[in-house]
Amino acid sequence: MNARFHDVFCRASDGLKLHAWDTGPRDDGRLPVLCLPGLTRTVADFETLGLALANHPTVPRRVIAIDYRGRGLSDHDPDPANYAVPAEAGDVVAVASHLGIERAIAVGTSRGGIISMVLAATQPKLLAGVVLNDVGPVLEMEGLLRIKGYIAADRPLPATWEEAASGAKSLFGRDFPNLGDDDWLAWARRGFRQRDGALERTYDPALEVAFAGIDPAKPPPPAWKLFDAMKNLPLMLVHGGRSDLLSAQGVADMMARRPDIDLVIVPDEGHAPLLADAPTIDRIGDFCARCDHHAG
């Protein structure tokens, strides 16, 4: 099998055009996977994982990666206040409905993990398992402030791909020490695109409103109620050993509440693990197979 992603477009409940990638076999009895990116990220973050799952030699499965509103090829929202988890969860539901997905495994990176927890609480029939990628009910202020800083709309745009790669390395090099020059260029190409000879972000800069309320004096309250909404679902947690958003104590607290969590620690990656190394991909594939059996 040699599955490739193809583009899918549909409409959100408020009429915005949404984009997704879709690949892999249909109607094979295996649960599809919904890949949900981080705050400013796009479907491109799931290319390696998605194609590996779709082209598995013995248990290939369907994979859908989703651009929420304001990201990738989805429409920007004229009201930035809609760049919020409830609306983005609605985008996921809209894409799933358009594609006829009634039950699936969610793989949620950072913001996508929060959206996964919200879906478990509000759309319990949709999810048959959840992979949280470096996110949980308690998030560290250090990581939140770092994200708030780099999504600021007034950050200057790079003039060249080389400058974009250098900028990515300066921001994230501490967290991903094993990446080489080609990896940073690939990172830049996931975060920017070229239009009329200039580079632009692959997300609406107005997304900064999503973090406008982040204040060290007022940390966000723990979201244990959302975490507990997944109590009857198979749950995997991928944790970046260098993460500044999800702490080791946060992982321990989650494990204490759910001792059955399938924990994967990626020691040489920070927030959020790239889900591109073979051991992590294999673990996610095994987890998906267990979700198949659990759902059956």
Are the beta carbons of 75 and 19 closer than 8 angstroms?
no
Pairing of strands 6-11, 17-23: antiparallel
Taking each helix axis from N to C end, the angle separating 278-295 and 47-54, rounded to the nearest 10 degrees, works out to 50
CA distances from 160 to 150, 163, 185, 199, 223 (A): 18, 5, 11, 7, 40
Confidence (pLDDT) at 112: 98
User: Do you find a cis peptide bond into 206, omega within 30 degrees of 0?
Assistant: no
pTM score, whole prediction? 0.97
CATH of domain 6-151+203-295: 3.40.50.1820
Distance CA 97, CA 80 (A): 24
Confidence (pLDDT) at 153: 84
For each of the chain's 296 residues, which pLDDT tens digit applies? 688 999 999 999 999 999 999 999 997 789 999 999 999 999 999 999 999 999 999 999 999 999 999 999 999 999 999 999 999 999 999 999 999 999 999 999 999 999 999 999 999 999 999 999 999 999 999 999 999 999 988 889 999 999 999 999 999 999 999 999 999 999 999 999 999 999 999 999 999 999 999 999 999 999 999 999 999 999 999 999 999 999 999 999 999 999 999 999 999 999 999 999 999 999 999 999 999 999 76
Q: What is the DSSP string of 21-73?
A: EEES-SSSSSPPEEEE--TT--GGGGHHHHHHHHT-SSS---EEEEE-TTBTT
Confidence (pLDDT) at 27: 76
The structural domains of the chain, with segments of one domain joined by +, span: 6-151+203-295
